[in-house]
Amino acid sequence: MEPLHVVSAIFVFGGTFFMVVGSVGLIRLPDFYARLHAAGKPDTLGEILIVLGLILYEPLSFLSVKLFFLSFFILVANPTATHAVAMAAYKRGLVPWRKKQE
């Protein structure tokens, strides 16, 4: 058990936590737009944390470089896809859910 492996495990668990929160939010949140928040974004941080943990787990090699580029591409691609889906819904005229005003 090396100390670096403990740090890496913490990162991977943190990433998994945000992934699970995203899935829970997908079920709990009320409407399409709110669910889009849960579907798209905690995944970005969760994925980066998991990749960071994997980079720390292995000694520095070509795999680490590939994983680093992978997180960079997800950082660019994820918001673009989320925006595309949200724009499609908005242009179709989907009305967002509002909290009832008492």
Nearer to another protein, 9 or 64 (CB): 64
> Are the CB atoms for 37 and 25 separated by under 8 Å?
yes
Q: Does 73 bind another protein (CB under 8 A)?
A: no
DSSP state of 92: T
Site string for another protein, 1-30 (x = CB under 8 A): ----------------xx--x--xx--xxx
What is the distance between the alpha carbons of residues 34 and 101, in angstroms, rounded to a whole number?
Answer: 18
Question: What residues contact 97, with CB distance under 8 A and at least 6 apart?
Answer: 30, 31, 33, 34
- Kindly tell me which residue out of 41, 54, 57, 64 binds another protein, with binding defined by CB under 8 A: 41
Nearest-approach distance from CB 93 to another protein, in angstroms: 12
